[in-house]
């Protein structure tokens, strides 16, 4: 299949072409840039929802219930899972298949796990491209699930229209631990596993934390208790997401946010491109190993090594 056909078919919503296109951007295949050039003008219709939180907080369970809720309203849903800790193994693919079987893949739900980053990085860039492909392919809601630990994950969630941070009761210490990265980016907070003790206390702690934060857009992030496994609170979550989306599109916050996202994307791409150009120069990759060895043996220092690499013609 040539690229033109691939683009035509993915824009028409063909699942196999969508999957192939995502693989192409993930691998940074030749042709991925042309593909994205064709995809980009068709984006901007979907609502992109980022879901992040500590490992095991119930993100996948919530995403599935959220997707079901949207599906019942007639929306088409794309789901992208980013799990940098697990290699792109049969496990991840099998997991996706099981979820798709429960959610009804052919009936308007598409699930995809992103592979681990290559040695040049690019996981965040690839994920944002995958979201753009799903947007262009006509999905009404695109949900991105990431474990809220690394910088890449935070960056990914920041590119969503609405960022949802998932907590569980009794994680006071964890709130402290993760707040540096993800507390600032939550437009909506969920306290999942609300069937457990300590929901009110966690809510109070969260409220006092949030009262210290000053958002430039003056939005007060709502806190929604849920029990994902029992589908409780899902409608409240849908309403909270919708409320923020409306707030955002009514004000001029959206333009500011979109511009910030665009700038981040540009810098990500530029970084990837410059690094790959540099490393593809004659012998640079091999030089990297030689220099790394020298630095480890203290016969060279990283600063001189970088100068040598940058000055390689
Ligand atoms: N009691 C209770 N258990 C829940 C709830 N939601 C999810 N779980 C359970 O918590 C465990 C983890 O759920 P996942 O949905 O896989 O959590 P996750 O955040 O996606 O996990 P990772 O992707 O591995 O970080 C599973 O055993 C779920 O059944 C809830 O509301 N209450
Ligand atoms: Mg999960």
pLDDT tens per residue across span 210-241: 888 778 888 999 999 999 999 999 999 999 99
Ligand 1 atom nearest residue 166's Cα: 19
The answer to whether residue 87 scores a pLDDT higher than 70 is: no
Cα–Cα distance measured from residue 105 to residue 71, given in angstroms and rounded to the nearest whole number: 11
**Residue whose CB lies within 8 A of the most ligand 1 atoms, among 60, 81, 167, 190, for a mutation test:** 60
pLDDT band at 304 (very low <50, low <70, confident <90, very high): very high
77 CA to centre of ligand 2 in angstroms = 17
What pLDDT score does 215 carry?
82
Cα–Cα distance measured from residue 190 to residue 253, given in angstroms and rounded to the nearest whole number: 23
What pLDDT score does 149 carry?
63
pLDDT band at 54 (very low <50, low <70, confident <90, very high): confident
What pLDDT score does 155 carry?
80
CB atoms within 10 A of CB 132: 23
Within 8 A by CB and 6+ apart from 223, the residues are 189, 190, 191, 203, 206, 207, 210
Lowest mean pLDDT of 66-70, 142-146, 155-159, 219-223, name the range. 155-159
What pLDDT score does 173 carry?
57
207 CA to centre of ligand 1 in angstroms = 23
pLDDT band at 76 (very low <50, low <70, confident <90, very high): very high
Percent of the chain past pLDDT 90, that is, above it, reads: 48
**Residue whose CB lies within 8 A of the most ligand 1 atoms, among 145, 194, 228, for a mutation test:** 228
Q: What is the mean pLDDT of residues 267-292?
A: 87
Cα–Cα distance measured from residue 21 to residue 130, given in angstroms and rounded to the nearest whole number: 8
The answer to whether residue 193 scores a pLDDT higher than 80 is: yes
Q: What is the mean pLDDT of residues 68-73?
A: 93
Q: What is the mean pLDDT of residues 22-28?
A: 88
The answer to whether residue 89 scores a pLDDT higher than 90 is: no
What are 108's two structure tokens? 């308007």
Cα–Cα distance measured from residue 128 to residue 265, given in angstroms and rounded to the nearest whole number: 8
- pTM score, two decimals? 0.88
Lowest mean pLDDT of 30-39, 82-91, 115-124, 239-248, name the range. 82-91
pLDDT band at 180 (very low <50, low <70, confident <90, very high): low
pLDDT band at 88 (very low <50, low <70, confident <90, very high): very low
Which residues are near ligand 1 (CB < 6 Å)? 55-61, 147, 192-193, 195, 227-229
Residue with CA nearest ligand 1 atom 7: 58
Mean pLDDT score of the chain: 85
What pLDDT score does 131 carry?
96
Cα–Cα distance measured from residue 69 to residue 185, given in angstroms and rounded to the nearest whole number: 24
- How far are the Cα atoms of 41, 71, 313 from residue 306, in angstroms, in the given order? 38, 51, 13
**Residue whose CB lies within 8 A of the most ligand 1 atoms, among 50, 102, 145, 229, for a mutation test:** 229
pLDDT band at 178 (very low <50, low <70, confident <90, very high): low
């Amino acid at each position: 299949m040539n690229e033109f056909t691939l683009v035509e078919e993915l824009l028409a919503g063909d699942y196999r072409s969508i999957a192939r296109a995502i693989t192409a951007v993930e691998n940074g295949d030749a042709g991925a840039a042309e593909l994205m050039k064709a995809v980009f003008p068709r984006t901007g219709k979907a609502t992109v929802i980022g879901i992040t939180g500590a490992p095991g907080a119930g993100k996948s369970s919530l995403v599935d219930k959220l997707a079901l809720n949207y599906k019942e309203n007639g929306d088409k849903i794309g789901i992208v899972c980013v799990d940098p800790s697990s290699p792109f193994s049969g496990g991840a693919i099998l997991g996706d298949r099981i979820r798709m079987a429960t959610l009804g893949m052919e009936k308007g739900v598409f699930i995809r796990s992103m592979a681990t980053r290559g040695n040049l990085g690019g996981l965040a860039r690839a994920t944002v491209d995958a979201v753009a492909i799903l947007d262009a392919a006509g999905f009404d809601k695109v949900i991105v699930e990431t474990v809220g630990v690394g910088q890449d994950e935070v960056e990914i969630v920041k590119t969503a229209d609405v960022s949802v941070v998932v907590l569980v009761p009794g994680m006071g210490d964890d709130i402290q631990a993760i707040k540096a990265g993800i507390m600032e980016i939550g437009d909506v907070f969920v306290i999942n596993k609300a069937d457990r003790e300590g929901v009110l206390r966690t809510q109070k702690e969260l409220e006092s934390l949030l009262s210290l934060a000053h958002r430039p857009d003056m939005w007060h992030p709502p806190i929604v208790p849920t029990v994902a496994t029992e589908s409780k609170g899902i409608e409240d979550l849908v309403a909270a997401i919708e409320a923020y989306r409306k707030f955002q599109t009514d004000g001029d916050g959206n333009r500011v946010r979109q511009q910030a996202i665009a700038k981040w994307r540009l810098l990500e791409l530029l970084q990837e491109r410059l690094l790959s150009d540099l490393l593809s120069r004659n012998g640079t990759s091999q030089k990297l190993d030689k220099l790394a060895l020298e630095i480890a043996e203290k016969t060279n220092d990283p600063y001189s090594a970088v100068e040598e690499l940058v000055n390689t013609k």
